[in-house]
Structure 1
Amino acid sequence: MAPTDEPSDDIHTIDFFRDDGAVADPYPYFDSLRTRCPVLREPHHDVVMVTGYDEMAEVAQDSKTFSACVSVTGPFPGFPVPLEGDDVSGLIERHRDELPMSDQLPTLDPPVHTAHRALRMRLITPKRLKQNEEAVGEIADRMLDTFLARGEGEFISEFAGPFTLLVIADLLGVPEEDREEFLDRLQRRPRAGGGIGSTGEGAMAHSPLEFLYGRFADYIEDRRRQPRGDVLTGLATARFPDGSLPDVADAVRVAANVFSAGQETTVRLLSSAFMLIAEHPDIQERLRAERGLVPNFVEEVLRTESPLKGDFRLSRIPTTVGGVDIPAGTTLMLLNGAANRDPRKFEDPATFDPARPNARHHLAFGRGIHTCPGAPAGAVEHGGAAALGEPPGERGESGGGGQERRRIGRVSQLLQDEGELQRGRLKPAELQTGLPLPVLWLGAHLGDRLTHRAPQRPLLLVELELHARPPPSRRTSGNTRKTRMPLS
């Protein structure tokens, strides 16, 4: 059957891409779409909205039928030429470089995507993740000391944003002396103009990746001239699977993608989780009593408040999704936040349940070859849960070594799975997903500060005045609030 073209009144009147109401709370709109049909064409921009869990997974896993060339921008500005005929693959290849962000990993298709993703995985090794995990504790403790001392603060700009940036800077080996400049250029300066994917009329003042391209080009060229045995030297000398040395520009794109991919999504996740435990003392107390629930709590936050609303695909040939006919050249939007609340997959999906048995089955970070680059960090879940159960300074002294060995083993397995995917011996659907790099590592340290009660230490109540902007999916007016956060 064809995509339903007869919308109900609410679907007809709400423009998801431009209406502020859909930004503040998109879930009634998602439910309305899904109730009609989980694969439904919206009337304003001719985009087929995929709100069903199985339907989204089907499209995300089929990179042969669906191109990711428009994944970042969708209908804004749209494809540069008319897409006509029963196979638009040739048009995609001839014109993809005219699309915004066409050099970035999320917009690439195989075989180029396969080579670039494999290059990225050569940067994320068990050894590097272990080193980064150690640095996360130091960064989190240092920033928490400063943030909590004043008793009030703007969580996103003063903690979550800088914290995430510094963690990824450490992962990629950005020199200590340069990190303050990264903070200044990428966090502190106001961003002028619209952004990539903006539906507003204003154009971008400059590429948001311009600074990263320039700095990482300098780093890579310097390390190729004078190798130093550091992380950036590994980045500069990493090779494609066929043994060829990438152009500097290719290595720069991979580094810039790793640096930028986890920034906004991780900040949204941290802000959602922080506001939830601040505003729901019953959930906070349950996490205090059952610290082993913290990893599943984070998964449930990802399910209920997906950091990404969705991304786009372009059908190369006529096909069907969930029994709905999709012509060649159709733009589809894969709505992570809607799929994660599909009642066919999640019982009572609007209810937040930190112990939900299948919370980890969410699609917050996609599925298939474009699964979130932070997936291997899902291995730290065990480490985060273990650390939450031990007083500060005693981690690893009561079986911690075994936990750590299992954690590193889990990282190794995920990296091995990634390699099997690149060699065609593992289906995209079988690739395991996980959390973005900083999240659960931070969880262990926030756990010490927010959920651990050492018996020799009295409970301390600190009143934090939160001026944090809620995540885009829950933005409302009057967001300044005071919340009593018990700390220990």
Structure 2
Amino acid sequence: MNANEPNFFRDQAVIADPRSYFDLMRERCPVSREAYEGTLMVTGYAAALEVLNDKEGVFSNAVSVVGPIPPLPFEPQGSDITGQLEEHRAELPWSDHLVCMDGARHAEHRAIVGSLLTFKRLRQNEDYLHGLADRMLDAIVGKGVRNIVPEYAHATTVYAISDLLGIPLEDRAELLELIGAPPSQIEGDAVHKIGSDPLVFLKERFDGYLRDRIDNPRGDLMSELVAARFKDGSQPRFEDLSGLARFMFGAGQDTTSRLIAMGVQHLGEDKALQAHMRADAKAIPAFVEELLRHDAPVKAVYRLARRDTRIGDIEVPAGTIVTVCLSGANNDPEHFAQPHDFRPDRPHVRDHMAFSRGAHACLGAPLGRMEARIAIERLLARTSDIVISEAHHGSPENRVYRYEPTFSFRNLADLHAELVPA
């Protein structure tokens, strides 16, 4: 073991500064085995693209969310573990959800979600998002130092996906509390030990919503979901529709909340950037893209090698868990010049992999981009300054921010700032 290698899955220093870790591993080799859980860390852009664009089904998504923790429920044997994986798939966390499906099952369920999240549907939601952002800002602009993470970033995205799905108004505040902060991966929260469905706590509620839509359809996304059919005309099982509804709710607020919070942090730290974005709203979409590239809400996704293969020149035995470091690829100097510089005018910025690539690229990317853009547009329009609280985060020369203890995601735990009215 290299004594100088931090533990990606446990070290608080990596939680605080993941880019330095990715730089260290990439300099060793863009594809190299880490010393603690035995996963293969892919930190180079080209190598990450190769894995994510896998068209042969060599890499399974079965471990996509949690990687090597908990470990596989079987000991991989031989040069092809496909049979073992299918035998034990139901024992893996998230296995009932879209993000961890493979092959035809994944394609069928993904097609249903894709048919719902249309450009027309998102455009219809845009006016609501403007009004929502303003209502959230009414409560915090000019009200002294506020915690931007729960009071603006998280609240905005939970209410946004709730409106899109058609969740009753009277339930939305309670759901905001229920979904809460992400679980601590490095401290082993029980949510990762309860079997295939960590969203089971939402099941009874969402089952009720969907049964109501079967009897009383209306013009919302859940009504369209219960009416959806597979391409062959067959009807999905109710349990599958329930899983899709819960996954869309969870995923639909999660990453965008992180993105908005990071955007406010950048604006508060860089007064010149803040002034430029406030003066030119047309620059905000590029600002959002650079946020996604520079410090993505999802640090890494995971793949399981079904059979012996290679990534570039590196041998990958069947049963290897591959950690595809999206943030590592997004900060690869072989692809992005001076990657640690934050440059909203960066050429080809949308080459980033913040929404992954390939068959599992995020279907909600257009919605996330729109929500983040509108949240930042309205914030800048309603304020004359965003001032980071020195009482909470220290002086500009000695800032301290807390990040949620997760190895997969990049989450500000809190962001205290004063929003000075325009």
- Preserved CA contact (<8 Å) 1:24 1:475: no
1:360 corresponds in structure 2 to: 350
Deviation at 1:373, TM superposition (A): 2.2
1:216 to 185, 206, 214: 206
Bigger radius of gyration, 1 or 2? 1
Change (3 A) 1:286 1:16: same
Bigger drift between 208-217 and 50-59 goes to 208-217
* Residue 97 of structure 2 is aligned to residue 164 of structure 1: no
Tell me the number of residue pairs that the alignment of Structure 1 and Structure 2 aligns: 406
2 CA distance for matches of 1:87 and 1:482?
53
1:319 corresponds in structure 2 to: 309
Q: How does 1:159-238 map to 2 (within 5 A)?
A: 159-187=152-180, 198-204=185-191, 208-238=198-228
1:256 to 246, 253, 268: 246
2:90 to 84, 87, 97: 97
1:107 corresponds in structure 2 to: 100
- Preserved CA contact (<8 Å) 1:141 1:445: yes
Q: How does 1:56-75 map to 2 (within 5 A)?
A: 56-63=48-55, 64-75=57-68
- Preserved CA contact (<8 Å) 2:262 2:412: no
1:446 corresponds in structure 2 to: 379
1 CA distance for matches of 2:359 and 2:312?
21
Q: Which of 1 and 2 has higher RCO (CA within 8 Å, sep 6+)?
A: 2
2 CA distance for matches of 1:52 and 1:147?
41
* Residue 18 of structure 2 is aligned to residue 31 of structure 1: no
Change (3 A) 1:37 1:462: closer
1:239 to 220, 229, 254: 229
2 CA distance for matches of 1:436 and 1:476?
19
Bigger drift between 279-288 and 294-303 goes to 279-288
- Preserved CA contact (<8 Å) 2:386 2:417: no
- Preserved CA contact (<8 Å) 2:258 2:411: no
2 CA distance for matches of 1:87 and 1:48?
18
Bigger drift between 440-449 and 62-71 goes to 440-449
Q: Give the counterpart letter for 1:445 in structure 2.
A: R
Change (3 A) 1:116 1:268: same
3-state DSSP of counterpart to 1:294? helix
1:51 corresponds in structure 2 to: 43
2 CA distance for matches of 1:212 and 1:301?
31
2 CA distance for matches of 1:324 and 1:213?
42
Q: Give the counterpart letter for 1:28 in structure 2.
A: S
Change (3 A) 1:159 1:300: same
- Preserved CA contact (<8 Å) 1:313 1:332: yes
1 CA distance for matches of 2:412 and 2:369?
26
Deviation at 1:208, TM superposition (A): 4.7
2:365 corresponds in structure 1 to: 375
What TM-score results when the alignment is normalised by the length of structure 2?
0.89
Q: Give the counterpart letter for 1:199 in structure 2.
A: I
Change (3 A) 1:259 1:329: same
Change (3 A) 1:447 1:60: same
Q: Give the counterpart letter for 2:130 in structure 1.
A: G
Deviation at 1:211, TM superposition (A): 3.5
- Preserved CA contact (<8 Å) 2:95 2:101: yes
Change (3 A) 1:107 1:237: same
Q: Give the counterpart letter for 1:439 in structure 2.
A: A
1:339 corresponds in structure 2 to: 329
Bigger drift between 124-133 and 143-152 goes to 124-133
* Residue 142 of structure 2 is aligned to residue 155 of structure 1: no
2:4 to 6, 10, 15: 10
Q: Give the counterpart letter for 1:139 in structure 2.
A: L
Change (3 A) 1:291 1:220: closer
Bigger drift between 100-109 and 261-270 goes to 261-270
Q: Give the counterpart letter for 2:32 in structure 1.
A: L
1:87 corresponds in structure 2 to: 80
1:125 to 93, 118, 135: 118
- Preserved CA contact (<8 Å) 2:51 2:59: yes
Deviation at 1:121, TM superposition (A): 1.5
1:415 corresponds in structure 2 to: none
3-state DSSP of counterpart to 1:158? helix
Query: What value does the CA root-mean-square deviation take over the aligned residues?
Result: 2.5
Q: What are structure 1's unaligned runs of at least 5 residues?
A: 1-6, 378-434, 451-459
- Preserved CA contact (<8 Å) 1:72 1:107: yes
2:34 to 22, 42, 45: 42
Change (3 A) 1:202 1:141: closer
What TM-score results when the alignment is normalised by the length of structure 1?
0.77
3-state DSSP of counterpart to 2:302? strand
- Preserved CA contact (<8 Å) 2:68 2:321: yes
2 CA distance for matches of 1:464 and 1:324?
45
* Residue 270 of structure 2 is aligned to residue 276 of structure 1: no
3-state DSSP of counterpart to 1:263? helix
Q: What are structure 2's unaligned runs of at least 5 residues?
A: 394-400
Deviation at 1:216, TM superposition (A): 1.6
3-state DSSP of counterpart to 1:10? coil
Per-residue CA shift, 1:24-75, capped at 9, x if unaligned? 1122221111001000001111100000011011101115110000111211
Q: How does 1:364-403 map to 2 (within 5 A)?
A: 364-377=354-367
- Preserved CA contact (<8 Å) 1:227 1:233: yes
* Residue 285 of structure 2 is aligned to residue 295 of structure 1: yes
Bigger drift between 228-237 and 29-38 goes to 228-237
- Preserved CA contact (<8 Å) 1:172 1:232: yes
Per-residue CA shift, 1:393-444, capped at 9, x if unaligned? xxxxxxxxxxxxxxxxxxxxxxxxxxxxxxxxxxxxxxxxxx4452123233
3-state DSSP of counterpart to 1:82? coil
